[in-house]
C-alpha cells in the first residue's frame, strides 16, 4: 500500500523536513558583525606546500585581509572554492589584499591542499579552536554540538582591523565575488 494518501503525505513531509534541514543551516550562523574589531591571532599554515606563519596584525599593516573559513580540505565545495580563489588571487593582490584560507585541518592536509587546490596562489592555515570561537565559525550539528569543522564564512578586514564585509553561506559560489567587490570598494576609498 505504498500509494495510500497517508504514505504519500508521510513521504512529502519527510522530504520537506530534509530540505529545510539543508537550507536553514546555510544562513543561520552568528558570525561577527560588520564594523567590529577583528580578533587578532597568529597561526601556522602552508603556501605552495611550504610552511607559512601568519599573523593577522602584521598582514593588516600591508592592507586589507580576506580571511575565508572553509569546512574541510579536499571536499567538493572546499576544493571548488579554493580553485575560484586561486583564479582570482591576482585580482586580490592588485587590490592590495592579503588572501588566506582557514580550516581546522591538520598541517599535512593543508600542505597538500595549498599545492593542489590553492595552486600555490595563496596560503591556507590552521583555524585553532580559539580562532574558531573568536570568529564564531564553529559548524554545529542540529543538536548544537560542534562538528569539529568551520562554517563557510568569508571576512574582509580593513587595515584599521575592523570587519568590513561578512558572507556566511555553505554554498561556495558567491564568496570570491563578494569579497573581491568589498576589497575593491576599500581600495577605491583610499
More confident residue, 4 or 16: 4
- 166 in Cβ contact with 157 (< 8 Å): no
What are residue 36's phi and psi, to 5 degrees? -80, 160
Q: What value does the mean pLDDT of the chain take? A: 88
More confident residue, 3 or 133: 133
Does this model's pTM top 0.95? My answer is: no
- 135 in Cβ contact with 69 (< 8 Å): yes
| C-alpha pair distances (Å), 96 with each of 64, 83, 123 | 7, 20, 16
Model confidence pLDDT, tens digit, residues 110-127: 999 999 999 999 999 999
Position 188 confidence tier, pLDDT thresholds 50, 70, 90 = confident
Model pLDDT, residue 189: 74
Distance CA 117, CA 122 (A): 10
Q: Is pLDDT above 60 for 10?
A: no
Model pLDDT, residue 15: 39
- Pairing status of strand 138-140 against strand 146-150: antiparallel
Q: Is pLDDT above 50 for 157?
A: yes
Q: Is pLDDT above 90 for 50?
A: yes
Task: For residue 111, count CB atoms less than 10 angstroms from its CB and return exposed for 0-12, middle for 13-18, buried for 19 or more.
Answer: buried
Model pLDDT, residue 2: 54
Q: Which CATH architecture has domain 31-189?
A: 3-Layer(aba) Sandwich (3.40)
Model confidence pLDDT, tens digit, residues 60-77: 999 999 999 999 999 999
Distance CA 138, CA 150 (A): 5
What are residue 120's phi and psi, to 5 degrees? 65, 15
Summarize the confidence of residues 16-39 as an average pLDDT: 60
Amino acid at each position: 500500500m505504498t500509494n495510500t494518501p497517508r504514505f504519500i503525505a508521510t513521504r512529502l513531509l519527510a522530504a520537506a523536513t530534509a530540505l529545510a534541514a539543508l537550507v536553514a543551516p546555510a544562513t543561520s550562523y552568528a558570525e561577527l558583525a560588520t564594523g567590529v574589531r577583528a580578533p587578532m591571532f597568529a597561526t601556522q599554515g602552508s603556501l605552495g606546500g611550504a610552511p607559512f606563519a601568519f599573523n593577522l596584525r602584521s598582514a593588516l599593516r600591508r592592507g586589507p585581509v580576506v580571511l575565508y573559513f572553509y569546512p574541510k580540505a579536499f571536499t567538493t565545495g572546499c576544493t571548488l572554492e579554493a580553485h575560484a580563489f586561486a583564479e582570482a588571487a591576482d585580482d586580490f593582490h592588485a587590490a592590495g589584499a592579503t588572501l588566506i584560507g582557514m580550516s581546522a585541518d591538520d598541517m599535512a592536509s593543508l600542505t597538500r591542499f595549498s599545492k593542489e587546490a590553492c595552486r600555490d596562489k595563496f596560503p591556507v592555515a590552521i583555524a585553532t579552536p580559539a580562532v574558531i570561537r573568536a570568529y564564531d565559525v564553529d559548524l554545529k550539528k542540529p543538536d548544537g554540538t560542534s562538528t569539529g569543522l568551520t562554517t563557510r564564512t568569508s571576512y574582509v578586514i580593513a587595515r584599521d582591523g575592523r570587519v568590513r564585509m561578512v558572507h556566511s553561506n555553505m554554498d561556495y559560489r558567491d564568496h570570491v565575488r563578494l569579497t573581491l567587490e568589498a576589497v575593491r570598494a576599500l581600495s577605491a576609498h583610499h
